[in-house]
């Protein structure tokens, strides 16, 4: 702005020096930027989950009604939750795996509170499809767990990723056993 | 721009104060256009008309559409059954999106073949790629609105692409959704943006046209116009040609709207969205298939996403990848072969994108993906150095470089002198 062109101006400083006018110009731009930013943030942040969305209630389930080898699907925060009453062989299979060789190494023991009941989010960690394997007769992939048909991810009987494009294991949601039979999710 | 003397006094009065008539006369009437344009040059105006058709039918649809997860699907069915002519508006809008993409893809491959992206039209080309991106975003969000199974799962998969970004990915996806899954907040904002983006496209189209009119159209010979003997006034020569092309286009378009309205759609989208069940085989709309194939070709989440966006990114830098001084593929014998290979490769990618990701399809998809990038990143730069182009004509009026030509037709003949 200032510099050589405005040296004839009374308020400007000699060549190469900052004048008071330069200061005012920079300060105005800075104030403008702060103001624009202060207005932009609410515009961006209004797209984040609203208070009532965040407050979505937790759900309670009686898991004693699920017989061995069966699964149920519930909806929590708009997403499916898989609860599987695992068979002895599925539990053994999940425990036997050499954890260190997995893409997302995690012990089966850390993924369950009671080995019989596996609770995971039924959301493929690749791009979010719901894997198959909940209903009797559905394909369950090569590792006796779930198979995501969208791009071919195989999960094992602990919900861990074994094959295909998904990067991580099926997520375990926060949950607690309220009694021997009832789980609260969320 | 010089002020033209219009005979109508009202026009003259207005034009003196608001030179809109001079502007239109300059840019759409006397605007000098190369006289040798072929029918591939029709697709720009067809794209513009498609955009207008989408906006008009879209505004009409919005008057009966309800952007809420409990009502969206039924409001679209109501448009189809009860709203007067609703079926017509929706079928025009639905098929219009497909035809818009057909037109724009032809428009783009025209540019690729005739080297329209080369200096001095680099920015014109880049603005075109921006329009393509905006169209893709608009069409993606529009497809979510009827809230069928494909709407829901398409939205889930595509928004999840952003979760591949290291660190902030999850936060971005939650922000896009406005919740923890694709749900009502997502549908609402997609409607808002689907309404907005076409008008943003109009803005970029205006810039595209300003850039076009700076140097005028390229042409099948790819050489610059050298004077009035090489050009024709836009009106009536190209207005009439564009109208003729439009009538052919509308014939195909009407055939689709009236006889095969669901041919390019997917039947699963007539099943209401269900957040607990993914359809056995989800596919995006056909115009996204080549990109979807590239996404799936890479067996790594982040890698796949980068490759998919990279497929568009190479188009942005294309003017600097192909350094050959010759624009038109007509005079580039080797380039011409690779151009057709690229076209075949894109069609193949589209086919692979529609197939399940298993067995041979995976392998072919990977090879085709590699070829796509090799074409732009290796073959074009190398060809610019090693290829010997055929000799160029002296001018558009003298297409045969040994002497004046029959094509130097009546209109330009008297003035023919460079
Ligand atoms: C670039 C231009 C546009 C494209 C490519 C486009 C694309 C689409 C697509 C693919 C659909 C889904 C059709 C279906 O399967 O039902 C759709 C739906 C819709 N669009 Fe657009 N659209 C455009 C412009 C607009 C505009 C400007 C508006 C409003 C002003 C609009 C309003 C709507 C509405 C209300 C729906 C839902 C009704 C329906 O599904 O038919 N669109 N759009
Ligand atoms: S979403 Fe499950 S494999 Fe892609």
Tens-place pLDDT, residues A104-118: 999 999 999 999 999
Average pLDDT over residues A63-81: 91
Cβ(A83)–Cβ(A146) below 8 Å: no
Does the distance separating the beta carbons of A48 and B174 come in below 8 Å? Answer: yes
For A10, the token pair is: 């009374």
3-state helix/strand/coil string of chain B: CCCCCCCCHHHHHHHHHCCHHHHHHHHHHCCEEECCCCHHHHHHHHHHHHHHHHHHHHHHHHCCCCCCCCCHHHHHHHHHHCCCCHHHHHHHHHHHHHHHHHHHHHHHHHHHHHCCCCCCCHHHHHHHHHHHHHHHHHHHHHHHCCCEHHHHHHHHHHHHHHHHCCCCHHHHHHHHHCCCCCCHHHHHHHHHHHHHHHHHHHHHHHHHHHHHHHHCCCCCCCCCCCCHHHEEEHHHHHHHHHHHHHHHHHHHHHHHHHHCCCCCCCHHHHCECCCCCCCCCCCCCHHHHHHHHHHHHCCCHHHHHHHHHHHHHHHHHHHHHCCCCCCCHHHCHHHHHHHHHHHHHHHHHHHHHHCCCCCHHHHHHHHHHHHHHHHHHHHHHHHHHHCCCCCCCCECCECCCCCCCCCCCCCCHHHCCC
Closest ligand to the CA of B296: 2
Q: Which position has the token pair 């997520």?
A: A171
Does the distance separating the beta carbons of A128 and B296 come in below 8 Å? Answer: no
CA A164 to ligand 2 center in whole angstroms: 8
The pLDDT of residue B404 is above 60 = no
| pLDDT, position A138 | 87
Cβ count near B99 (within 10 Å): 22
Residues with Cβ within 8 Å of residue A38, at least 6 apart in sequence: none
- Residue B350 and residue B357: Cα distance in Å, rounded? 13
Cβ(B338)–Cβ(B322) below 8 Å: no
Residues 110-149 of A with CB under 8 A from B: 122-123, 126-130, 148-149
Q: How far apart are the first and last CA of chain A?
A: 58
Sequence spans of domains, chain A: 15-48, 54-185
B285 is catalytic: yes
Does the distance separating the beta carbons of A79 and B181 come in below 8 Å? Answer: yes
A50 interface with B at CB cutoff 8 Å: yes
B241 is catalytic: yes
B85 is catalytic: no
Mean pLDDT of chain B: 93
Look at residues B219, B269, B212, B241 and name the one whose alpha carbon lies nearest to residue B97: B269
Closest ligand to the CA of B60: 1
CA distance B39 to chain A (A): 41
Does the distance separating the beta carbons of B182 and A165 come in below 8 Å? Answer: no
Task: Please identify, by atom number, the ligand 1 atom nearest to the C-alpha of residue B94.
Answer: 13
Radius of gyration of chain B (CA): 24
B62 is catalytic: no
Residues with Cβ within 8 Å of residue A23, at least 6 apart in sequence: none
Q: Is A81 helix (H, G, I), strand (E, B) or coil?
A: strand
- Structural domain A54-185, CATH architecture: 3-layer Sandwich (2.102)
Look at residues B95, B351, B326 and name the one whose alpha carbon lies nearest to residue B221: B326
Average pLDDT over residues B62-80: 97
Give, for ligand 1, the residue of B93, B130, B266 to mutate: max count of ligand atoms closer than 8 Å to Cβ.
B93
Look at residues B309, B298, B264 and name the one whose alpha carbon lies nearest to residue B368: B298
The pLDDT of residue A174 is above 60 = yes
- Residue A185 and residue A177: Cα distance in Å, rounded? 9
Maximum separation of any 2 CA atoms in chain B, in Å:
74
Does the distance separating the beta carbons of B176 and A165 come in below 8 Å? Answer: no
Average pLDDT over residues A38-43: 92
Q: Tell me if the bond preceding A7 is cis, omega within 30° of 0.
A: no
Cβ count near B196 (within 10 Å): 12
| pLDDT, position A149 | 86
| pLDDT, position B4 | 73
Cβ(B304)–Cβ(B160) below 8 Å: no
ipTM: 0.77
Q: Is A86 helix (H, G, I), strand (E, B) or coil?
A: coil
Task: Write the pLDDT tens digit of every residue in B281-331.
Answer: 888 999 999 999 999 898 888 899 999 999 999 999 999 999 999 999 999
- Residue A24 and residue A32: Cα distance in Å, rounded? 12
| pLDDT, position A135 | 87
Report the residue of chain B nearest A53, measured CA to CA.
Answer: B179
Instruction: Spot the catalytic one: B242, B324, B345, B375.
Output: B242
Q: Please work out, in degrees rounded to the nearest 5, the angle formed at the alpha carbon of residue A148 by the alpha carbons of A145 and A151.
A: 140
pLDDT level of residue B414 (50, 70, 90 thresholds)? very low
Chain B residues within an 8 Å CB radius of A123: 181
Residues with Cβ within 8 Å of residue A96, at least 6 apart in sequence: none
Mean pLDDT of chain A: 88
The pLDDT of residue B172 is above 80 = yes
Q: Is the dihedral of CA B189, B191, B197, B202 positive or negative?
A: negative
Closest ligand to the CA of A126: 2
Average pLDDT over residues B154-168: 92
- Residue A166 and residue A169: Cα distance in Å, rounded? 8
The pLDDT of residue A82 is above 50 = yes
A166 interface with B at CB cutoff 8 Å: yes
Q: Is A168 in the pocket of ligand 2 (CB under 6 A)?
A: no
Cβ(A125)–Cβ(A171) below 8 Å: yes
The pLDDT of residue A4 is above 60 = no
Sheet containing strand A153-156, edge to edge, reads A144-148, A153-156, A161-163
Element (H, E) at A33: helix A20-45
B122 is catalytic: no
């Amino acid at each position: 702005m200032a510099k050589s062109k405005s040296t004839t101006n009374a308020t400007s400083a000699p060549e190469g020096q900052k004048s008071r006018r330069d200061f005012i110009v920079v300060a105005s731009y800075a104030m403008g930027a702060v103001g624009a930013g202060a207005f932009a943030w609410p515009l961006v942040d209004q797209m984040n989950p609203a208070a009532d969305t965040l407050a979505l209630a937790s759900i309670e389930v009686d898991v004693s009604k699920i017989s061995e080898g069966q699964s149920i699907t519930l909806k929590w925060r708009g997403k499916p939750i898989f609860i599987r009453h695992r068979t002895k062989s599925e539990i053994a299979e999940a425990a036997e795996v050499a954890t260190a060789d997995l893409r997302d190494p995690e012990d089966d023991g850390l993924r369950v509170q009671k080995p019989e009941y596996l609770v995971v989010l039924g959301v493929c960690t690749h791009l979010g499809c719901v894997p198959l394997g909940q209903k009797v007769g559905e394909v369950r992939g090569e590792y006796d767990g779930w198979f995501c048909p969208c791009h071919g991810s195989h999960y094992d009987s602990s919900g861990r990723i074994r094959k295909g494009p998904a990067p991580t294991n099926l997520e375990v949601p926060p949950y607690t056993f309220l009694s021997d039979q009832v789980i609260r999710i969320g | 721009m010089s002020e033209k003397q219009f005979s109508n006094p009202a026009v003259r009065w207005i034009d003196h104060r608001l030179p809109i008539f001079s502007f239109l006369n300059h840019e759409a009437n006397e605007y000098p256009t190369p006289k040798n344009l072929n029918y591939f040059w029709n697709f720009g105006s067809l794209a513009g008309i498609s955009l207008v058709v989408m906006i008009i039918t879209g505004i009409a649809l919005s008057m009966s559409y309800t952007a809420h997860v409990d009502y969206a699907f039924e409001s679209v069915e109501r448009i189809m059954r009860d709203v007067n002519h609703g079926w017509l508006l929706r079928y025009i809008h639905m098929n219009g999106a497909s035809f818009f993409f057909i037109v724009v893809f032809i428009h783009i491959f025209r540019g690729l073949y005739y080297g329209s992206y080369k200096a001095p039209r680099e920015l014109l080309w880049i603005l075109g790629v921006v329009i393509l991106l905006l169209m893709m975003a608009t069409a993606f969000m529009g497809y979510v609105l009827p809230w069928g199974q494909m709407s829901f799962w398409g939205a889930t998969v595509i928004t999840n692409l952003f979760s591949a970004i290291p660190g902030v990915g999850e936060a971005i996806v939650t922000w896009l959704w406005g919740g923890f899954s694709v749900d009502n907040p997502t549908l609402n904002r997609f409607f808002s943006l689907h309404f907005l983006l076409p008008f943003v496209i109009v803005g970029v189209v205006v810039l595209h046209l300003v850039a076009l009119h700076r140097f005028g159209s390229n042409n099948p010979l790819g050489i610059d116009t050298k004077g009035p003997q090489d050009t024709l006034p836009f009106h009536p020569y190209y207005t009439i040609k564009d109208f003729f092309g439009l009538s052919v286009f509308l014939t195909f378009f009407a055939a689709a709207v009236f006889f095969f309205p669901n041919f390019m759609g997917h039947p699963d989208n007539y099943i209401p969205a269900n957040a607990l069940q993914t359809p056995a085989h989800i596919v995006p709309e056909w115009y996204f298939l080549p990109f979807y194939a590239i996404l799936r070709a890479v067996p790594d989440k982040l890698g796949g996403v980068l490759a998919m966006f990279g497929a568009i990114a190479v188009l942005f830098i294309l003017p600097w990848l192909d350094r050959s001084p010759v624009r038109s593929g007509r005079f580039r014998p080797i380039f011409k072969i690779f151009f057709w290979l690229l076209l075949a490769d894109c069609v193949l990618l589209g086919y692979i994108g529609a197939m399940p990701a298993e067995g041979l399809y995976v392998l072919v998809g990977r090879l085709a993906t590699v070829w796509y990038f090799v074409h732009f990143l290796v073959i074009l730069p190398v060809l610019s150095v090693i290829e010997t182009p055929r000799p160029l004509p002296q001018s558009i009026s003298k297409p045969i470089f040994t002497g004046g030509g029959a094509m130097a037709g009546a209109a330009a003949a008297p003035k023919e002198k460079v």
